Structure 1
Amino acid sequence: MTTKKLTWVSMLLAMCVLGANFKLLGSIALDSFPAFLGAMILGPVYGAFLGIAGHFVSALLAGFPQTLPIHIIIGFLMGICMFIFGLVRKKAMGDGIMVKAVSWLIAYIVSVPLNLLILYPVLHEVVFVLFVPLTIATLANLLISELVYAVLPSKIKNFGQSKVV
Structure 2
Amino acid sequence: MTRNKQLALFTAFVSLAAAGSFIKIPSPAGSVAFDSMPALAAAALMSPWSGVAVACFGHLLSAGLAGFPLGPLHVMVAVQMGLLAFFYGVLYRRNAKRAATLMFVIGNGILAPLCFWPVLGKAVVIGLIPSLLAAAVLNGLTALIIIPRIKPAFLQSAMRIDHEKKT
Asked if 2 retains the 8 angstrom alpha-carbon contact of 1:18 and 1:31, the reply is: yes
Measured at CA, do residues 138 and 158 of structure 1 come closer, stay the same or move farther in structure 2, by a change above 3 Å? farther
The alignment status of 1:144 with 2:142, answered yes or no, reads yes
Q: Distance in 2 between matches of 1:40 and 1:159?
A: 16
Render the CA deviation track for 1:6-29: whole Å, top value 9, x for unaligned.
111000100010000011130000
- The within-5 A match list for 1:1-165 is 2-24=3-25, 25=27, 26-67=30-71, 69-90=72-93, 92=94, 94=95, 99-124=96-121, 125-154=123-152, 156=154
1:141 counterpart SS class:
helix
Letter in 2 for 1:146: L
Change (3 A) 1:153 1:104: closer
Give TM-score, length-normalised by structure 1. 0.87
Specify the SS of the correspondent of 1:29.
Answer: coil
- Report if aligned partners of 1:41, 1:158 keep a CA contact under 8 Å in 2: no
Structure 2 residue identity aligned to 1:73: M
Q: Mind listing any 5+ residue stretches in structure 1 that lack a counterpart?
A: none
Letter of the structure 1 residue corresponding to residue 120 of structure 2 = L
Shifted more, 55-64 versus 137-146: the winner is 137-146
Deviates more, 1:14-23 or 1:109-118: 109-118
Q: How many residue pairs were aligned?
A: 155
| AA of the residue aligned to 1:7 | A
**Cα distance in 1, alignment partners of residues 151 and 64 from structure 2:** 34
SS class of match (2:69): coil
Structure 2: tracts of 5 or more residues without a match = none
Distance 1:20 1:109 in 2: 21
Decide whether aligned partners of structure 1 residues 8 and 132 sit closer, same or farther in structure 2, where only a CA change above 3 A counts: same
Amino acid at match of 2:44: M
Root mean square deviation, CA, Å? 1.9
Secondary structure in 2 aligned to 1:152? Answer: helix
Aligned-pair CA distance for 1:81 = 0.3
Quick check: which has more Rg, 1 or 2? 2
Instruction: State the TM-score, normalized to the length of structure 2.
Output: 0.86
